[in-house]
Amino acid sequence: MRRLRFRAAAVAALAVLACLFAFACTSLYCASACGASSCGTEELSGIAALHSGAGWAALPTPPPQRPHPRILLRYMACMGGFNQLYSHVAALTLAAALGADVVLPPALARETYDSKSDPLHRKTETMQWHAAPAESLLDVARIAQAWRQLGINVQPPPQLYVLPADLRTGFLSYPQPAFQPQQVVRLKGVNRKPKEFGVLLGMARAAVRDAVAAALAAGLPPFDTIVLDLPCTLFSLNTDRVLGLTSKVALSLHFSPHLQALADRIVAAVTDGGRRPFNGLHLRLETDALFFHQSQAGQQKAWEAYIEGMRESGFNASLPVYVASGLLTYNSTEQWHQLVDKMRALGLAAEVLHKEKLLRAEELQGLHMEQVAVLDFLVLARAQRVVGLAASTFSTYLREYRALHGIPKATARLVGDTPRWFEHTVALVEDLGEEQSALQRLRQWQLDPQLAPLQIPAGQNLVA
Ligand SMILES: *[C@@H]1O[C@H](CO)[C@@H](O)[C@H](O)[C@H]1NC(C)=O
Ligand SMILES: *[C@@H]1O[C@H](CO)[C@@H](O)[C@H](O)[C@H]1NC(C)=O
């Protein structure tokens, strides 16, 4: 009887969810958020507004009902910086619906871009990664502040943790005497197995329910908290049908203020203090991207696709181009100069700019590889037009991040083939075309019923 009621409640909640997603446009996006005066200069100034601190964090919202037992979600974020961002989006989207508290994982950083490794298929030697503080990429305090509005406690990783041997499928472990083994459940079959949101949510809830039932059957007193451990959540969620949720989650993922400040300085230099726009290129031709391009011949083809992309996007000798690339990070200077000379000869750029030219060497030397990538990303976020690579999550996240901040997706052209597993997993925000500026509304996090956690009844109810 109780179980029936519980199921009925869950079905009703999912129906409400589905309904809200269908109407997300009318309730959230479509009303224009800015007057005629403030919308004209969107391309250069559109992003400035979001760093002003005003926004959804300032909104008073009632905390959602806390489910009992409380769920604590822990997970891994793996591979390059923007694969990690996608991992965060998937895990936090799940946490929002579960009403779960969250322990963020540490950041990972590759040792170099000059590595012939295929991290997805591991056909060649494995790339080397090291752990770094979560704060090296993200503004953890600001993220936590934002989630507190939802009654959700987001914590940085504890000082002590052990990375799993397999970064994609293994689990982070924490010496955690506070939890009994029966309190901790591990959800497998997540990494690179994209699922519809409702399915992933159902798996998580079933795992928690089973843990509660098992503890009860073993005669243990009811737990206050169940720890839900996930491996790396990269490509675990089909985002494309829950963009109302993922766009809000992505908005909460603020980048490190230090990287933001460095990017601001680069943008000031590139735009001559905001007086001229610039185009942006994400040139993903480093050695470690060879697996994207299959071989050297593939790399040549990719370069040709980049040139065509720049032409089609209207890059010409009237604007400078900022190039985001790891080529100079490992001193592939010869290749770099060839490419840059070609761009100039083809009349695609007035001048070609890059971070090594605009910051002091010691400012870059202190950064790990993923921080350098985020720095480039934050510059390209403010370009008038960008050309990137369809097979790169840096490029897809860039298109989504720009769209999230009011810049039409059509200003980002991604060249080359789209990997099959990107099809439903990389969009984070609705494509509203020229109406994209209306999205600035999203800077205000509204506590919609769709974000209220689905109540997990107390243990006894679940096994009745
Ligand atoms: C460069 O392209 C822009 C549009 O992207 C155009 O308005 C401008 O006239 C072009 N300039 C040259 C010199 O071709
Ligand atoms: C970088 O490469 C250039 C030639 O391509 C070489 O002259 C220089 O010594 C290299 N620098 C380092 C630090 O390896």
Confidence (pLDDT) at 332? 78
- C-alpha torsion 272→275→279→284, nearest 10: 30
Q: Tell me what pLDDT residue 133 has.
A: 96
Gap from CA of 318 to ligand 1 centroid (Å): 6
Task: Quick: pLDDT tens for 283-295.
Answer: 988 777 776 766 6
Counting ligands in written order, which one lies closest to the CA of residue 335?
Answer: 2
Compute the distance from residue 146 Cα to the ligand 2 centre, in Å.
Answer: 45
In the predicted structure, residue 321 carries a pLDDT above the cut 80: yes
- Number of C-beta neighbours around residue 52 at 10 A: 8
pLDDT at residue 12 greater than cutoff 80: no
Q: Could you give the CA distance from residue 243 to residue 35 in angstroms, rounded to a whole number?
A: 25
Between 445 and 232, the more confident residue is: 232
- Domains of the chain by range and CATH? 2-47+57-254+445-463 (no CATH), 257-437 (3.40.50.11350)
Write out residues with Cβ below 6 Å of ligand 1.
314, 316-318
Q: Is the dihedral of CA 242, 246, 247, 248 positive or negative?
A: positive
Distance (angstroms) between ligand 1 centre and the Cα of 24 equals 38
How far, in Å, is the centroid of ligand 1 from the Cα of 278?
A: 12
The residues near 323 (Cβ < 8 Å, ≥ 6 apart) are 280, 281, 283, 340, 352, 353, 354
Across 130-138, average pLDDT: 96
Atom of ligand 2 nearest to the CA of 331: 1
Q: Binning pLDDT at 50, 70 and 90, where does residue 367 land?
A: very high
pLDDT of residue 314: 97
State the average pLDDT over residues 254-259: 96
**How many angstroms separate the alpha carbon of residue 355 from the centre of ligand 2?**
17
More confident residue, 95 or 57: 95
CA of 319 to the centre of ligand 1 (A): 8
Q: Hey, which of 318, 346, 413 would you mutate to test ligand 1's pocket, going by the most ligand atoms within 8 Å of its Cβ?
A: 318
Structure tokens at 137: 């990429």
Q: Look at residue 28 in the predicted model and tell me its pLDDT.
A: 21
Answer yes or no: is pLDDT of 236 > 70: yes
CB 442 within 8 A of CB 404: yes
Q: How confident is the model at residue 234 (pLDDT cuts 50, 70, 90)?
A: very high
pLDDT of 90 > 60? The answer is yes
Report the alpha-carbon distance of residue 320 to residue 137 in Å, rounded: 27
Please check the confidence at residue 448 and state whether its pLDDT lies above 70.
Answer: no
In sequence order, what DSSP letters do the residues of 7-47 get, joined into one string? HHHHHHHHHHHHHHHHTHIIIIISS--S-HHHHTTHHHHTT
Residue with CA closest to ligand 2 atom 13: 331
Q: How confident is the model at residue 326 (pLDDT cuts 50, 70, 90)?
A: confident
**Does the pLDDT at position 462 exceed 60?**
no
Query: How is 341-375 classified by DSSP, letter by letter?
Result: HHHHHTT--S-EE-HHHHS-HHHHHTS-HHHHHHH
- To 10 degrees, what angle do helices 243-252 and 81-98 make? 120
Separation of CA 265 and ligand 2 centre (Å): 27
In this prediction, residue 2 has a pLDDT band, given cuts at 50, 70 and 90, of very low
Query: Which ligand is located closest to the Cα atom of residue 348?
Result: 1
Binding pocket residue ranges, ligand 2, CB within 6 Å = 331, 333-334
Angle, vertex CA 420, rays to CA 414 and CA 426, nearest 5: 55
Among 250, 251, 270, 253, CA closest to 383: 270
Residue located nearest, by CA, to atom 4 of ligand 1: 314
- Ligand 2 atom at minimal distance to the Cα of residue 334: 5
Give the pLDDT confidence score for residue 241 in this predicted structure: 93
Higher pLDDT, 137 or 453: 137
Query: Ligand nearest 318 Cα, by number?
Result: 1
Cα–Cα distances (Å) from 139 to 136, 254, 464, in that order, read 8, 5, 44
Q: Cα–Cα distances in Å, from 401 out to 17, 71, 248, 397, 405?
A: 24, 29, 11, 6, 6
Q: Please tell me the number of the ligand nearest to residue 365's CA.
A: 2
For residue 333, the CA-to-ligand 2 centroid distance in Å is 7
Q: Which amino acid is at 361?
A: A
31-45, 92-106, 211-225, 363-377: the lowest-pLDDT one: 31-45
Q: Which residues contact residue 383 at a Cβ distance below 8 angstroms, ignoring those fewer than 6 apart?
A: 277, 278, 279, 280, 322
**353 contacts 323 by C-beta, under 8 angstroms:** yes
Ligand 2 atom with the shortest distance to the CA of 333 = 5
Question: Is residue 69 reached through a cis peptide bond, with omega within 30 degrees of 0 on the bond before it?
Answer: yes
User: Distance between CA 444 and CA 61 in Å, rounded?
Assistant: 11
| Helices H / strands E in the chain, number of each | 17, 12
Q: CA distances (Å), 236 to each of 26, 188, 195, in order? A: 28, 11, 6
Q: Which amino acid is at 374?
A: V
* Per-residue tokens: 310: 């720049």
Q: Which listed ligand is nearest to 333 at the C-alpha? A: 2
Q: Which ligand is nearest to the CA of 350?
A: 1
Per the model's pLDDT, the better-predicted residue between 419 and 4 turns out to be: 419
pLDDT band at 431 (very low <50, low <70, confident <90, very high): very high
Mean pLDDT rounded to a whole number for the chain: 79
pLDDT tens-digit profile of 169-195?
A: 999 998 767 899 999 999 988 888 999
Quickly tell me which residue has 């009318």 as its tokens: 26
First to last CA, the chain: 8
Residue nearest to atom 14 of ligand 1 (CA): 316
Mutation test of ligand 2: which of 333, 336, 337, 356 has the most ligand atoms closer than 8 Å to its C-beta?
A: 333
Cα separation, 163 vs 76, in Å, equals 9
Query: How many C-beta neighbours within 10 Å does residue 36 have?
Result: 7
Minimum CA distance residue for ligand 2 atom 10:
331
Mean pLDDT of 329-353: 89
CA-to-CA distance for 152 and 141, rounded, in angstroms? 13
Range from 64-78, 125-139, 238-252, 430-444 that averages highest in pLDDT = 238-252
Strand partners, 229: 74, 186
| Contact (Cβ atoms closer than 8 angstroms) between residue 59 and residue 444 | yes
Per cent of the chain over pLDDT 90 is 56
Token pair in block for residue 187: 């959800």
Instruction: Give pLDDT, residue 327.
Output: 80
pLDDT (mean) for 352-366: 92
